Structure 1
Amino acid sequence: MPTTSDADLLAETAAAVRAAGAVLLERFGQVVRHRTRDELVRALAANDDAALAVLRPRLTALRPDARWVEDELAGGALPPGEWWVADPAEGNVNHLRGLPGWAVTATLVRDDRPVLTAVHLPLTGETHTALAGGGAQVDGRPLRVSGQTGLGLGLVATSQARPDEDDAVVRRVGASITAMLRDALVVRTSVPATLHLLDVAAGRVDAFWQFAGARADLLPGALLVAEAGGRVTDTEGRPWTTASAGFLAAAPGVHAEAVATLSR
């Protein structure tokens, strides 16, 4: 029986995230009101469930033996083998507020390394894809990180990893933003991380960093930036893994300065 190539698998994964995105697009529009945390959680889960009802069966059919990461907020290394790491409504809170800045993502991880990813933006219709060793694209057009050579002229970004973050992480995030405000030209802060990383891969943003974070937040963008010619490390410049405490994706010309700023 012929084995499906990773390139063919990526094409089918892209089709799956587009199909799930169409479901979320139908649900998008008015602000979804909530008065309590429980009401918010139920609204978030309703979006996730609607998109997952399309996404999960399609991905499972593509790789029946691949396991599924059940908790999209989970971090750390994955056991050996193949895993689907998906976020059916990345930027879900933006969706509920009627804001742009949400997507559907799916990444296949093999032996704890991302081998392919697809990110679909239903509001623009764009689909970003990357294949390990095969480059990064948006709708068939190659992606390339910026040629910026100095942090002083750089546009950089960061994101909140999750609500109710550990206090030590919150303090570290605040200190890093202060440091970047001194050293970079412009600092952007918003959620979700994936959209910032799409901008890094496309050369619109020069660096993105984050402390803590889930696999589903960082794996798609990490592969896209790496395949677009960027550098992906922890915030101290060491090789990044899903177990790292910090994350930095940057154009090569600003990476070293960004590490120096974030290591203070």
Structure 2
Amino acid sequence: MSQDLLTATTTAVREAGTRMLTRYSPDSRQPGLPAVLDSLHANDSAVAEVLRPALAAIRPQARWLDDEHGSGPLPAGEWWLIDPVGGNVNAVHGTPDWNIGVSLVRDGRPVLAVLYFPVPDEMFTALEGGGAFLNGDRMRVSAKTSLAGALTGTGQAQPGHDAELLERMGTSFTAMSKAALHVRISVPVSQQLAQVAAGRLDLHWQFDNVRSHAAGVLLVREAGGVVTGLGGEPWDPAVESYLAAAPGVHAAALDVLAALTPRVPS
């Protein structure tokens, strides 16, 4: 991947963020679920209208996928994976923690990532093998070596979880709260992954991996972090659960979470 490709993608994502800022208001208050759903759809559509033609022009051979809740493996080749408004539910309720997310995945491997947080004007970028950056400054994950002082997090990647997964999430919160300094449960997941890459958060775990997390995963990796499945296996878009962490706390966090991961019969 070239720097020119990243620069062009970053420009497109910034334009999409500018478009979304015209729709966003900190005074937004939703009267109920129908209005929330309408606003979510309208925001996603507005951002996709900017990104789809721009990214098609930048990399016409790459296919497009903006199902931010999609999961499982991708067919071979290059794919633009788009999360039009990560944390959209926050945006429609007037809070600032939302972003525009784009990754380019080649044969199941993220090779480019751009996450833009328009309200604080923070642009997170990464190229495979080229490091991770925040507004042009190189990022490094946390240097912590103990969970005792760690800021940790998890979140809800998609609505409609079954009762078993919700129970696991609750149990994991209790287990990690006993081991770490603090546990944050919030959306968007991509925001937590970006904060791990920046060293502001020490680790993030997820029981429901979706493809649109690829941008955040690449940011963490390129900032020196470790991303694996909860069984310790290498991360890929098809793993069901994962842990993204600073190297000094990854093993200890994996020990806390491994007991909560269902074992696949051999």
TM-score range, shorter chain: over 0.9
The Cα of 1:32 is off from its aligned counterpart by 4.1
Q: Which amino acid aligns with 2:8?
A: E
Contact 1:6–1:116 (CA under 8 A) maintained in structure 2: no
Cα deviation, 1:90-118, whole Å, max 9, x if unaligned, reads 11000000001100011001111100011
Q: Which amino acid aligns with 1:223?
A: L
Partner of 2:249: 254
Q: Within 1, Cα distance between the matches of 2:160 and 2:31?
A: 18
Contact 1:21–1:51 (CA under 8 A) maintained in structure 2: yes
What percent of counterpart residues are identical? 48
Is the partner of 1:104 in helix, strand or coil?
strand
Contact 2:67–2:83 (CA under 8 A) maintained in structure 1: no
Q: Within 2, Cα distance between the matches of 1:89 and 1:110?
A: 22
Q: Within 2, Cα distance between the matches of 1:70 and 1:12?
A: 19
Cα deviation, 1:117-138, whole Å, max 9, x if unaligned, reads 1111111111110000000001
Candidates 51, 73, 83, aligned match of 1:87: 83
Matches within 5 A, 1:111-122: 111-122=107-118
- Unmatched tracts of structure 2, length 5 or more: 260-266
Q: Within 2, Cα distance between the matches of 1:50 and 1:57?
A: 12
Q: Within 2, Cα distance between the matches of 1:171 and 1:71?
A: 26
Is the partner of 1:156 in helix, strand or coil?
strand
Partner of 2:191: 195
Contact 1:126–1:138 (CA under 8 A) maintained in structure 2: yes
Candidates 256, 259, 263, aligned match of 2:258: 263
Contact 1:145–1:206 (CA under 8 A) maintained in structure 2: yes
Partner of 2:223: 228
Partner of 2:240: 245
Partner of 1:78: 74
Q: Within 2, Cα distance between the matches of 1:202 and 1:71?
A: 26
The Cα of 1:205 is off from its aligned counterpart by 0.7
Q: Within 1, Cα distance between the matches of 2:154 and 2:77?
A: 31
Candidates 145, 148, 155, aligned match of 2:144: 148
- Unmatched tracts of structure 1, length 5 or more: none
Q: Within 2, Cα distance between the matches of 1:53 and 1:116?
A: 21
Contact 2:230–2:241 (CA under 8 A) maintained in structure 1: yes
Partner of 2:132: 136
Contact 2:73–2:237 (CA under 8 A) maintained in structure 1: yes
Partner of 2:48: 52
Q: Within 1, Cα distance between the matches of 2:237 and 2:207?
A: 12
**2:48 maps to 1:31:** no
Contact 1:161–1:212 (CA under 8 A) maintained in structure 2: yes
**2:164 maps to 1:180:** no
* TM-score, reference length from structure 1: 0.95
Q: Within 2, Cα distance between the matches of 1:116 and 1:68?
A: 14
Partner of 1:127: 123
Cα RMSD over matched residues?
Answer: 1.1
Contact 1:162–1:213 (CA under 8 A) maintained in structure 2: no
The Cα of 1:33 is off from its aligned counterpart by 1.6
Is the partner of 2:114 in helix, strand or coil?
strand
Contact 2:67–2:82 (CA under 8 A) maintained in structure 1: no
Q: Which amino acid aligns with 1:192?
A: P
Q: Within 2, Cα distance between the matches of 1:226 and 1:14?
A: 19
Contact 2:81–2:102 (CA under 8 A) maintained in structure 1: yes
Contact 1:106–1:118 (CA under 8 A) maintained in structure 2: yes
